[in-house]
Amino acid sequence: MRNRLLNAAERLLVKQGVDAIRLEAVAAEAGVSKGGLLYHFPTRRALVQGVVERLVERFEEVLPGPDAPPGAFARAWLDASIPAEAPEGEAVPSDSVPIALFAAANGPEVLDILQERYRSWQDRLERDGLPPGVATLVRMAVDGWWTARLLGLADPKGEHHRQLRRLVADLTEQRTDPAAASAARPEPRREGEL
């Protein structure tokens, strides 16, 4: 039942944004009573957090572990977020996580979850074995790209999409000496530092 409720909430979130996540609407979408929903998620906040945590876990599942070859983490970031082909006007499987995360990030109840996970992912990117800054550049390009796709902000289509994706993918193929990467890696920022 919990997964059924989370699936219903995710569908509403993807279709209508975080404001659509009302307990009554999710119960109706899932085909259960409001009481059944409240048993698993006593508040709207608990429900939204459950959806975001599950989406973050789903994204985490496609990311490689610490023994992956150099560039694998940055490449997985690209592959999980930007499809190889961009069918115009159609949603693709890789859209669900960015759309839901973007919609959920607009609610303060889940922003802290995303911020914490992004800090962890950024640390892993910086240790991805790519030249300093390259993995971060890939993340920033991908995050900007899926945001543009989500909002329809002149995102690339057709052959232009494929060419740009190849350029970003090529960045993940760069290699560096692990000792040099470690020496050149910036010190982690502490909370509140710029």
Structure-block tokens of residue 190: 């502490």
pTM score above 0.85 = no
Distance CA 131, CA 71 (A): 9
- Range ranked top by mean pLDDT from 70-84, 95-109, 169-183: 70-84
The reported pLDDT for the residue numbered 170 is 96
Q: What is the pLDDT of residue 184?
A: 46
Buried-state track 103-130, b at ≥16 Cβ within 10 A, e below 16: bbeebebbeebbeebeeebeebbbbbbb
Provide the sign of the torsion angle of the four alpha carbons 95, 100, 101, 106, taken in this order. positive
pLDDT tens track for 65-95: 878 999 999 999 999 888 888 666 555 555 5
Using CA atoms, how far residue 186 sits from 28, 69, 122, 128, 193, in Å, is 50, 21, 12, 13, 13
Is it the case that residue 174 has pLDDT exceeding 60? yes
Q: Predicted confidence band at 194 (pLDDT cuts at 50, 70, 90)? A: low
For the chain, domain boundaries: 49-184
